[in-house]
Amino acid sequence: MNSGRDLEAIARSLVKPGKGILAADESLPTIGKRFAALGIPSTEETRRAYRELLFTTPGLAKYISGVILFDETIRQTADGPTMPELLIRRGMIPGIKVDLGTVALPRFPGEKFTQGIDGLRERLGEYRRLGVRFTKWRAVISIGDGQPTKTCIETNARDLALFAALSQEAGLVPIVEPEVLMDGEHTLARCEEVTGIVLDAVFAALNDHRVNLEAMLLKTGMVLPGKEQAQQSAPHTLAAATLRVLHRAVPPGVPGIVFLSGGQTDIEATERLNAICATGPSLWTLGFSFGRALQDEAMKTWGGVPADKVAAQKALLHRARCNSFAVRGRYSPAMEQISADGAERLMR
């Protein structure tokens, strides 16, 4: 079993400067949807082959500290080793999504809560034995007319805190993810306000549950106007709003904050991450934990065709590298066009 100190060290290694976390934890319905959009059949073997492709990308550990897996993947092998063993050998820390997805919150139309607390203690014990070192639980909060409600925020905050406490009990570092969704026509100011209210509730619940803040990470969205809002914001404006709310709501004991991409395009996510990180200084180490914004181009390039594996790995490495520059506030759009060597030269 890991001591509190070990957990704190793992949390800090996940947010080493210049590194981020690859979220490859799509549930079966979600990966099925993403594959279907590209005409890739979703079978146990195509999902395994795709994840193996991602994890065996040469040089990935230079930019990626850890990978969030899905339950199916953790039990699969890659030419011998299990996926968690493969990641450890390649210098990345394996983690796992442990929530069981979101469902409707009864009597609160349009709002959701996350399932998976029942039996979680036993599942965490098994995951720990299977070699993972950290966990993730995602709650979603929608902004809309009269939303989010206090009931929705508090239900989700409590479950996130219970998940975090159970993870630490099991010797695992929790990534606490309250995602404020981008859907809707709300303004940047409204997203900032809701993000603040949600984070206040989440940290109150974490404290109530005696969670060790030094041994967890926060995963949050950037503060953005809704997708349907006509008035979009420049990167420096949303960076200022994001940092304002985080400085107000996130205790300095939390070692790191990682951003999700939430449906932004990959380049938008990188540009905005760069703006946030370039604005600094911050109390915590900032990082990324992107799913779509790291994988979209790689998945499209692969398309289920084995011969396109190497090109897909290059696409993943490129995005990981651009985001690594962004967390140091040193990304520029010119990097999109140049080779790996050229980009590294530019960095020196």
Residue of 53, 260, 275, 299 that binds ligand 13P (CB under 6 A) = 260
Q: How far is CA 161 from the centre of its chain?
A: 17
Please state whether the peptide bond connecting residue 281 to the residue before it is cis, i.e. omega within 30 degrees of 0.
yes
Backbone φ and ψ for 109, nearest 5 degrees, come out as: -55, 130
Nearest approach, Cβ of 265 to ligand 13P (angstroms)? Answer: 11
The smaller minimum CB distance to ligand 13P, of residues 111 and 177, is found at 177
Residue identified by tokens 């938008």 is 268
Q: Which of 177, 179, 271, 297 is catalytic?
A: 177
- Alpha carbon of 56 to those of 13, 79, 118, 218: distances in Å? 20, 11, 34, 27
Q: Which is nearer to ligand 13P, 66 or 262 (CB)?
A: 262
* Least distance CB 204 / ligand 13P (angstroms): 22
Minimum distance from residue 34 beta carbon to ligand 13P (Å)? 10
Minimum distance of ligand 13P from residue 53's CB (angstroms): 18
Which amino acid, one-letter code, is at 30?
A: T
- Any contact of residue 134 with ligand 13P (CB under 6 A)? no
Residue 254 or 339: which CB sits closer to ligand 13P?
Answer: 254
Rg (CA), the chain: 19
Residue 283 has what DSSP assignment?
S
Q: Name the catalytic one among 97, 219, 271, 297.
A: 219
Neighbours of 228 (CB within 10 A): 10
Burial class (CB in 10 A: 0-12, 13-18, 19+), 127: buried
Nearest to ligand 13P of 144, 263 (CB atom): 263
Beta bridge partners of 20: 64
What is the per-residue DSSP string for 205-267?
A: HHHHTT--GGG-EEEEPPP---TT-SS---HHHHHHHHHHHHHHHS-TTS-EEEE--TT--HH
Out of 50, 127, 203, 290, the only residue in the binding site for ligand 13P (CB under 6 A) is 290
Q: Among 10, 172, 224, 293, which residue interacts with ligand 13P (rule: CB under 6 A)?
A: 293
Query: Is there a catalytic annotation at residue 219?
Result: yes
To ligand 13P, the closest distance from the beta carbon of 167 in angstroms equals 16
Binding range to ligand 13P, per CB under 6 A, among 114-122, 157-165, 185-193, 259-267: 259-267
* Minimum CB distance to ligand 13P smaller for 202 or for 293: 293
Q: Which residue among 158, 186, 292, 319 contacts ligand 13P (CB under 6 A)?
A: 292
Contact 220, 178 (CB under 8 A): yes
Q: Which residue is nearest to ligand 13P (CB)?
A: 291
Beta carbon nearer to ligand 13P, 50 or 207: 50
Q: Locate 77 and state its tokens.
A: 């092998």
Cis peptide upstream of residue 148 (ω within 30 degrees of 0):
yes
Residues in CB range of 348: below 8 A, 6 or more apart? none
- Least distance in Å: CB of 80 to ligand 13P? 28
Q: Is the Cβ of residue 23 or residue 153 nearer to ligand 13P in the bound state? A: 23
Longest Cα separation, the chain: 57
262 binds ligand 13P (CB under 6 A): yes
Q: In this chain, which stretch among 85-93, 147-155, 250-258, 290-298 interacts with ligand 13P, using CB under 6 A?
A: 290-298
Please report which helix (H) or strand (E) contains residue 69, including its range: strand 64-69
111 is an active site residue? no
Residues 139 to 198 in contact with ligand 13P, rule: CB under 6 A: 177
**In the chain, count of helices (H) and strands (E)?**
13, 10
Contact between 23 and ligand 13P (CB under 6 A)? yes
Sites of contact with ligand 13P (CB under 6 A): 23, 25, 138, 177, 260-262, 289-293
Q: Catalytic residues, which ones?
A: 177, 219
